Structure 1
Amino acid sequence: MRVLILMGGYWPGHEATGPNQSLRQMCQAMCGTHEFLVLARDRPFGAAAPSAPSGSWIDQGFAKVRYTPVSATGPRDLRQVLRTTPSDVVWMNGFHDREFTLPTLLMRRLGLVPRAPAILSARGELAVGALGLKSPRKTAYQAVARGLRLLRDVWLHAASEEEAADISARAPAARGVFLARNVRRLVDPPLSRQLDAAPDDPLRIVVVGRIARVKNIDFAIRTLAHVKRAVALEIVGPVEETDYWRSCQSLIAQLPPHVRVRLVGAIPNAEIPERVAAADLFFSPTLGENFGHAIFEALSCAVPALISNRTPWKGLEAKTAGWDLPLGDPRLFAERIDALARLPATERLKWRAGARRVAERFVSGSDAVAATARMLEAAVAGAGERRTA
């Protein structure tokens, strides 16, 4: 089976981010029975120069990748690839993606490209928190999708039960909904400083992710204003929304002296596990995640997670792996931070072990590869209505 994947964010040097690692690991696990072709941007957002040559397919072993320039009118090669590259399935990524998803849906509707069986991964964009950001544009987008029936022959893909419910409640009418979890492998936890911290050393907290409103980093900073113990927060990730980061900086300036915050910024993806493993706590008060790749990677690195309850990762406290709390009162999060900070290093190791167990159980109990294969086969066959792969 030949699968054409439209994944704009898979530009050169960006392959190790969470969604792209999931894509890569899926292709590696299934390339013996499926042929994968990936069309992606040739550079990061806002970059003037390309990071790779465009216009030809590059064989990466597990998939062939083609990079394309993206202008205000969309990806240069998108229509050509859709018209001249035979595929059994076209797989789009990002429900509100304006660069690859929307042009593809419009060209299919207008008969400008073949209407091969199609899957669209929502990528968490139909969660309540995500829809609340830039809501006028998203409302208009969905009105167009409904009015033109852009999804009438497109299957929607959810990576969790929560996302499947979001899709069923809020997406325009589509062919059906598949549930197939993301394919992920365990990260080997790097050696980290677990017992070398002095009793008076600050608790080391790390936030990993792009600096954007949906990640709710301002809530993390507001939380630290209520923390009584000494803490040191590192924020790892690119500044995607400059105005939002300025507002975060204003909050940081008002924090008490026992709280330190440092923006690390974007770092090579290969360095992220080591940076995370060196922390005592991973913090993500996200407004919504369909999976939570950074959360999985933190747990895989044996770091307990303090997260919102808007992700599939639930019941962490009962598993001695962290906490998943409702957003609203940052003091609830601050109390958990202080509680962890009071523990001696030997007791914190129990939380590290619990975090690693959660990641191990997720991987050992996952049927993600088989479910993905079933989803692709069902899309080609046109079988079923609203269903789970």
Structure 2
Amino acid sequence: MRLIHTMPDIGAEAAGPSYSVVRLCEALNTLQQETTLALIGSAGSNPFIKPFSRGFGPERLGCSPSMRRWLNQEIASCSVDIVHNHSLWMMPNVYPGWATKGAPIPYVVSPRGTLSQWAMRSGSGIKKAFWPLIQKPSIKHAACFHATAYSEYEDIRRIGFKQPITLIPNGIDLPVFSESLKARADSERTLLFLGRLHPVKGIDYLLQAWSQLQDVFPEWKLRIVGPEGDGQYLRHLKSISVQFDLKRVSFDAPLYGDSKFEAYRAADLYVLPSHSENFGMTVAEALASGTPAVVSKGAPWQGLEQKAAGWWPGVGEKPLVEALRSAMALPPEQLQAMGQNGRAWMEEEFAWSGVAKSMLDTYRWLLGRGDKPDYVLID
């Protein structure tokens, strides 16, 4: 089977879609499926990535005439079995829709969180015109949507799309550590946020919650790690720190690769207080590292409580305070046990080989080469 996947680019943080889409394509290639990932920018060391140069126009739109021409040629040749686009709101997410319209090639769309209520409300005014005039028409003929969680399935249906939706989570690579359990000094414990510093992440809630907890748990520190973007949101967060006279809070530069996983491993507890997430890759990374998590209901991680691997409070300051109070009061040994529950969960249900196999079975069904998988929802 020949597959073309598309996405705008690979972000510097190598997280979220920059990680999950690349790993999905790698896993599909491992299953002997000829998979090409087309995007703007550099291919790095990945031989299956086909990079294209950016053309003229606003950088935010990511115009690339060369990418558009290549997609048109490949689809016109009828040598492609499936075209699968990841994310929305940039021209590399529009070109595959234009190219497949009227072609006998199933088109699959993974919104990757871009259709959430928060995402649809946020952003520049350009979105209000881009959606009805360009983006929505380019995906109306999609044969199937892909959701990484049931909440994203609901987002897709709320927008009005009636096509089948394949419900397949992202996968995760389990890091290997030299020690079976975390070694920490009892005198210092760490609450970690690691991810993009962006308003959608709800870090302002976290800081406000910390102002109520810092004196109750003097042995704990809060570590916020991530890229600052244009710096505006980071300045806002630091102003909150000053306003509430926060103690033992650090804002650290982003971490990548092994250093990132060591940060998860060194923490007693991971926290993600997001307004909206279609998956929340950092949660999977933390759990794979053996660290329990407190994650808001803005992210689809209800399994945290079912698997005894963390807490799933409502969105906002008050529920976050209550969950963190419960979590931070537990002894290190109990949190470590919850972390091991989370790691076992990731190993059992989120291996990339299984994720790729599920996606491949979806493709086969779309092509009439197999039965409909149970995780493909048609209502």
* Aligned twin of 2:270: 282
Give 1:40 shift.
Answer: 1.9
Counting aligned pairs with the same residue, the percent is: 23
Higher helix share: 2
Q: 1:188 to 1:376 in 2, by over 3 A?
A: same
* Aligned twin of 1:83: 72
| Aligned amino acid, residue 69 of structure 1 | R
Name the CA distance, whole Å, in 1 between partners of 2:66 and 2:277. Answer: 30
Name the CA distance, whole Å, in 2 between partners of 1:71 and 1:216. Answer: 34
Name the CA distance, whole Å, in 2 between partners of 1:232 and 1:37. Answer: 44
Name the CA distance, whole Å, in 2 between partners of 1:183 and 1:305. Answer: 17
Give 1:59 shift.
Answer: 7.8
8 Å contact kept, 2:8–2:93: no
* Aligned twin of 1:48: none
DSSP-derived class of the 2:113 partner: coil
Q: 1:133 to 1:387 in 2, by over 3 A?
A: farther
Q: How does 1:241-252 map to 2 (within 5 A)?
A: 241-252=230-241
Q: Deviations over 1:265-294 (max 9, x none)?
A: 223333210111111111101112222111
Q: 1:188 to 1:101 in 2, by over 3 A?
A: same
8 Å contact kept, 2:184–2:266: no
Q: Identify which of 127, 132, 157 aligns with 2:121.
A: 132
Q: Identify which of 242, 249, 256 aligns with 1:253.
A: 242
Q: Deviations over 1:271-326 (max 9, x none)?
A: 21011111111110111222211100101111110110122211424533111101
In the alignment, does 2:19 pair up with 1:2?
A: no
Q: How does 1:232-311 map to 2 (within 5 A)?
A: 232-257=221-246, 259-311=247-299
Name the CA distance, whole Å, in 2 between partners of 1:122 and 1:175. Answer: 14
Name the CA distance, whole Å, in 2 between partners of 1:126 and 1:336. Answer: 28
8 Å contact kept, 1:181–1:371: no
In the alignment, does 2:184 pair up with 1:196?
A: yes
* Aligned twin of 2:313: 325
Name the CA distance, whole Å, in 2 between partners of 1:193 and 1:253. Answer: 36
Name the CA distance, whole Å, in 2 between partners of 1:191 and 1:385. Answer: 43
Give 1:179 shift.
Answer: 2.2
Cα RMSD, aligned residues only: 3.3
* Aligned twin of 1:211: 197
Q: 1:192 to 1:281 in 2, by over 3 A?
A: farther
In the alignment, does 2:364 pair up with 1:377?
A: yes
* Aligned twin of 1:122: 111
Q: Which runs of 5+ in 2 are unaligned?
A: none
Q: Which runs of 5+ in 1 are unaligned?
A: 43-51
DSSP-derived class of the 1:4 partner: strand
8 Å contact kept, 2:110–2:147: yes
DSSP-derived class of the 2:312 partner: strand
8 Å contact kept, 1:26–1:369: yes
**Higher deviation after alignment, 217-226 or 19-28:** 19-28
8 Å contact kept, 2:292–2:336: no
* Aligned twin of 1:100: 92
How many matched pairs?
364
In the alignment, does 2:15 pair up with 1:17?
A: yes
| Aligned amino acid, residue 196 of structure 2 | R
Name the CA distance, whole Å, in 2 between partners of 1:318 and 1:115. Answer: 43
Q: Deviations over 1:339-377 (max 9, x none)?
A: 333333333322322332332332379942232012222
Q: Identify which of 131, 143, 154 aligns with 1:165.
A: 154
| Aligned amino acid, residue 140 of structure 1 | A
Name the CA distance, whole Å, in 2 between partners of 1:237 and 1:142. Answer: 30
Give 1:37 shift.
Answer: 0.9
Give 1:163 shift.
Answer: 1.3
8 Å contact kept, 1:40–1:65: yes
Name the CA distance, whole Å, in 1 between partners of 2:371 and 2:131. Answer: 24
| Aligned amino acid, residue 82 of structure 2 | V
Q: Deviations over 1:3-25 (max 9, x none)?
A: 111122326x65x4243332333
Q: 1:166 to 1:348 in 2, by over 3 A?
A: same
Q: Deviations over 1:34-58 (max 9, x none)?
A: 111111221xxxxxxxxx48xxxx8
Q: How does 1:24-35 map to 2 (within 5 A)?
A: 24-31=22-29, 32-35=31-34
8 Å contact kept, 2:192–2:222: yes
Q: Identify which of 63, 66, 76 aligns with 2:51.
A: 66
Give 1:123 shift.
Answer: 0.3
DSSP-derived class of the 1:91 partner: strand
Name the CA distance, whole Å, in 1 between partners of 2:351 and 2:371. Answer: 28
8 Å contact kept, 2:94–2:138: no
Q: 1:130 to 1:238 in 2, by over 3 A?
A: same
